[in-house]
Each structure stands twice: as C-alpha cells, then as structure tokens.
Chains A and B, each alone.
Chain A
Amino acid sequence: MIRDQALFVSGLLVEKIGGPSVKPYQPEGLYKGLASATYERDKGDGLWRRSLYTFWKRTILSPTMQVFDASAREFCNVRDVRTNTPLQSLNLMNDVTYVEAARLLAERAIKEGGVTPEQRLAWAFRVVTSRPPTEQELRVLSRSLSGQREKFTANPQNAAQLLSIGERRNDARLEKTELAAYATVMSLLLNLDEAITKQ
C-alpha cells in the first residue's frame, strides 16, 4: 500500500484491472543463492501496476513488500503488525520505486501545484498526507528545498544522475537542478511518518 500510494500521488500508477502478474523493480540478483529461477523485470506498464498484481514468490518475497511486513502467508494475519526497522528506512529512501515516484511527483508539483515554491510544496504535502501543512511545516519544507537546490546547483551532474533513476523520464523541458531539488523534497514527503502510517 505504501508503494501504491507513492505510485498514485506521482501519477505513475497504471490503473488497469486484472491480467497476469507483473514484475516491478527488484534489486539485481535477489534470487541468486536462494533459488534457481531468475527474475526478469517488466518494462513499461508492468512496473507501475498496483502491488496487488506483483508476482508472488512464496519463499523470496519482493523486498519492497517483505520489508513492510507483507504476510508471507504462513499464518492468518487478522491484524496488521506495526513495525519499525532500518531496512524500511533504507527502502523508502533508496529504492528505485520511490526515487522514481518522487521525481514524477516533483513534476506534478511544478506543473499542477501552483507558481511559487510555497504553493507547490503545500500542494504536494496535501496530496501525500491529505491535509495542508502547518506554517512550521511549510517553513521546514521551503528551507529543505532551498538547501537541496543549492547543492544541486553546485553539482549539476548529481541532478542529471538522480533524474535518470527509474524507467519513466521526466518532462525534458523542466530545469534539471530545480526538478532534482523538488524530487528530494518529494522523497521527504513520501518518507514522512504520517505518509506511511495510518493514524
């Protein structure tokens, strides 16, 4: 669901219903040493379907799901387990899925969120958390954006690298360092406790 949310807010989610299972992003060589099968990632739509449709291997769960306690189907789970692990943090920060989603969400924020940075950040915050940010929160986000923008402006090759992660490309007309800065702040939103926890 966390993955679905990220795909949905970024506009990547392909809302097709039904069909065979798909194979989204997964770290290279995950099955190596554990099983003899290999994992061939899908290209295109298969990457961004609802997680419900992800190919399910019983003995090696997709890390994106396993790290968030997807049931291994060994016991009946009546209640969701609430957990906290550093692996979840690493996944949300560094998994291609979320980096790509952050990039596309950044694009949406720039195009649909308004004109000023504050407007765009507030728009994105609302899209992800379903509430407008407080003044304090908006200040933090603006500061974050400026800080990240400075860093990308000083090293524009980093921006280009960040924007190349994942299969879907951003709109080429958008300025790269600006987009990369927004993408980092969007990633921040997707990592908020509020974004990933049901209150």
Chain B
Amino acid sequence: MNPGRELAQLLTRRAFLQQSVVGTAALGALLNEQSAMAAARTIAPRAQRIIYLFQAGGMSQLESFDYKPKLQALRGQNLPDSVRRGQRLTGMSAHQTTLPIAPSLFKFAQHGQSGAWVSELFPQTARIVDELAFIKSLHTEQINHDPAQTFALTGFQLAGRPSLGAWVSYGLGSENKDLPAFVAMISVNKRGGDQPLYERLWGSGFLPAQYQGVKFHNGADPVLFLSNPQGITPASRRQFLDDLAELNQQNAARFHDPEIAARTAQYELAYRMQSSVPELTDLSKEPERVLERYGPEARKPGAFAANCLLARRLAERGVRFIQLFHRGWDHHGGLPGGIPSIAGEVDQPAAALLQDLKERGLLDSTLVVFGSEFGRTVYSQGALTDKDYGRDHHPRCFTVWLAGGGVKAGTSIGETDDFSYNIVADPVHVHDLNATILQLLGIDHEKLTYRFQGRDFRLTDVHGIVQEKLLA
C-alpha cells in the first residue's frame, strides 16, 4: 500500500482500528508484515491454534514411549562403542569408567487399535493413544538444557531469536481481540526441579515486541499490572482512557503519526484484558465432572493440571498459541523414584485436555504437541543398582507426540535401535518438527521471514523439512 495514502487513512482512529489491532508504521516493518501475511496464506491451515505441552528437563523416552525389551538381557553391560559412535558425553557422565546399560524398571504394554507401546507411568495417555502421532526419531545437536530448549523453541541454540509462538503470532495474529495471541504458563514438579526457564522461550527476539508471549503468573494478577491500583475504580480508569485517547488524538492530528493510533489501540486492548483475563481464570462455571477429569490439581493455581484446563479455556477463546512448560524431568539420578511423580502430574491432565477439546469439537482445529528438549541415555549415570539408576542427557533420539488438527492419529513415525540410542529409520530433526508445526497451522516455513541484520531470518533458519507422514 502506498505509504502516503496509508498515513492519510490512519489519521482517523476508527479507520485504523478497523484495519488491525496492532500496527507499526515504519516502512520496513510494514513490508515485513505484508510478507508475513502473504506467507501465512499460502497453505490451507489444518489447525487454527496450538497448545504446546513442553516437558522441560529431558523426559526419558525409555520410561515413556520408546519400548526396548532387548535391554533386559543386556543389563549392566557397557554401552558398546559401536552403538555410541563417539557421541559426546556431558560433563556429568564423562568421568564414568563404565556406561552400564540400564533397562527401564517400568512395564510397557500395547494399547488401542494402533497397538502403541506405552509405559505404565502414562495410563491415561495410553487410553487415548489412538489420537496420537508419535515421533520416536526426533533428534537435536544440543546436549544441555539452555541451548536445547532455546533450540527447540527458537530454532537456534544461542539466545536472541524469536520463539515459535512469536513467529506464529507474527504470521497469523489472534482470533480474539480481547486476549493476547500468545500465552505462556509454567508449572513445576512438586518434588522440585529448580532448573530455570528463560523468557526467550516465549519472547519475540528481533520481531516487534507485540508478538511476544504473555506469561501468566500464579497469583492475584495473572498478567502483570493487570489490576488497577487500589483506589482507581473501573469508572475512573475508563475516564482516564477516554481522556488519554482524546489528548493523544489531538497530538496525532498535529503530527500525523500513525503510531499514536496504534498506542491508543494497545490501551484499549489492555482495558479489555482487565475483564477478559479474570473471566478466563474464573472456573466457577466449569462443571464438576470436567474438573475431575483433569485430576486433583485442576483447581490448584500453578499446577500443570490447572494450566491444562486454562489452556482449553484459552483455546476456546481463540488464543492462537498456548505454551505450557512443566519442569522437573531431569532425572540424572534417582530416576525410578523421581519419574512416577512427575509422570502422574502430566499424564492425566494431558489426556483430559485432549478429551475435553474433542468433546467441544475443538480437537480437529487445535494442534497439541507434547515433547521435551532431548531424551535420556540408555546407560546409567551413576551407579546402576536393582532399584535405582540415573540417565544423562541424550540428544540423538527422543520421543514427541502430536495430536489434533491435521495430524494422522494412531501412527508412529521414526524408529530407534534396540538401545534407544541411535535412529534407524526416518530421522526427524527439531527443525523438521517446527517446519511441520508451521505447516499444520497454514504457514510455509520457508516463506515466513523477517529481515534483520541484513538477512531474511526464519524459524527454521535454512533447514526444516515438513514431515508429510505425520499429516492426515
């Protein structure tokens, strides 16, 4: 659009508000946005929104979905070099003189019509296994949490790039004008797990800030500074906003700056959020049977179950990207003792979420992803005993599941060797997963770019192959 005409049109606030909720006038940003819109419309979307259930710490694939019965016979043996193939070890197990193979102490069984193998730690997930598409062959190069999580969610191991959610928000915007397009929520295993998460995992990087994720906090104000200060009534705040808009509008007429109208729009969105966010978190009208489905922690603010319920409510209200994090999967030691508790915290709520979405007719249009930043080693970190072992980080293969919009339910792609150490069929790199996620949302991952530092960046950098086998 002709910038001159654009400016003239933007002078009327109404015209501006009619066009878009957020807008930046700098020509460069305008071009970027137009390219974003173009990229977003080249593919028919299979899902309108996404809920990403990120399991932070590195969930063990050997204790969840990657069944390796042959390990029982190899218990205690040193991991052969032919299997390890020079894979670098972390500083935590590099000093070990042996790398003893540790079969899982947990039982696996097949479930559903698809016959998927699921461990006893995920009984509820097992019941809905026919909705899921497993990727057993996900792999990354990153071996520690910060770079791996950053890579999984921003496409690069160093900080500074926009998160997956920010890219999606940039490409598709929000379906709801009263709530942010991208929301992040964090929960943590009751037993601890004090590994930090980083704001960059839901940040906007070099994209304009309006695409950042809004992190909900547990406490009085789910969104920071949402509530008016004590003593400012809604009426007072409404008058404040009207007066502010009028003063800013007079300024806009004088300076012809379209940014001013954009700012007014942000104040109005902030005002609407003051009602829409409390309405979102008000569970009083949720039927009891729904709350029970999510388990005992459904009402506990800050628990994974409560966040899953909120995720469904956010999805219903048209929020585009809902990012959950559950921390505490980093079982370097004491794995058999530690993992049941955290698996219990996520198994039921995740399954309930899928069921809930399905019942409301939302599952077909919602993509749900359940995954980690990497997997865990087949060898024991620390001593292997009858009842105890630990596992170190393992980037070469791990498991993720997807469900919902556009995903081929009841399938599994990719295979690992008998040690769950190497991939033997259909490797899927994290870039490939991200390319596929964007594809399902209707975005061509190669076309959604943003010019920064002279380069057209994209989430998948110069990589990423859409995994057709996953698509229904």
Residue in B197, B208, B231, B255 whose CB lies within 8 Å of A158: B231
Q: Which residue of A lies closest to B226 (CB)?
A: A90
Residue in A60, A82, A85 whose CB lies within 8 Å of B199: A60
Per the bound structure, the CA–CA distance linking A61 and B252 in Å amounts to: 32
Q: Which range contains the number of A residues in contact with the other chain?
A: 35 or more
Expressed in whole angstroms, the minimum distance between the Cβ of A191 and any Cβ of chain B is 6
29 A–B contacts, CB within 8 A, in A order: A33-B186, A33-B188, A33-B218, A34-B199, A75-B160, A81-B208, A82-B259, A86-B273, A88-B266, A89-B263, A89-B267, A89-B269, A90-B225, A90-B226, A90-B273, A93-B270, A141-B247, A143-B243, A144-B239, A144-B243, A158-B232, A160-B231, A165-B231, A187-B240, A188-B240, A188-B243, A191-B267, A193-B260, A193-B263
Residues on B lying within 8 angstroms of A by beta carbon are 22, 24, 26, 158-160, 180, 186-188, 194, 196-200, 203, 206, 208-210, 212, 214, 217-219, 221, 223-233, 235-237, 239-240, 243-244, 246-248, 250-251, 255, 257, 259-260, 262-263, 265-267, 269-270, 273, 302, 327, 453
| CB-based contact B247/A188 at 8 Å | yes
Which one of A85, A95, A151, A199 has the greatest number of beta carbons of chain B within 10 Å? A85
Asked if A84 CB lies within 8 Å of chain B CBs, one says: yes
Per the bound structure, the CA–CA distance linking A197 and B217 in Å amounts to: 29
Asked if A124 CB lies within 8 Å of chain B CBs, one says: no
| CB-based contact B244/A85 at 8 Å | no
| CB-based contact A137/B159 at 8 Å | no
| CB-based contact A163/B231 at 8 Å | yes
| CB-based contact B266/A27 at 8 Å | no
Q: A192 — which chain B residues lie within 8 A by C-beta?
A: 244, 247-248, 251
Asked whether A151 and B212 contact (CB < 8 A) given A27-B224, A134-B250, the answer is: no
Residue in A63, A143, A165 whose CB lies within 8 Å of B224: A63
Which one of A66, A75, A155 has the greatest number of beta carbons of chain B within 10 Å? A75
| CB-based contact A75/B206 at 8 Å | yes
Per the bound structure, the CA–CA distance linking A145 and B252 in Å amounts to: 22
| CB-based contact A84/B22 at 8 Å | yes
Q: Which residue of B lies closest to A197 (CB)?
A: B259
| CB-based contact A90/B270 at 8 Å | yes
Q: Which of A82-122 contact B (CB under 8 A)?
A: 82-91, 93-96, 99
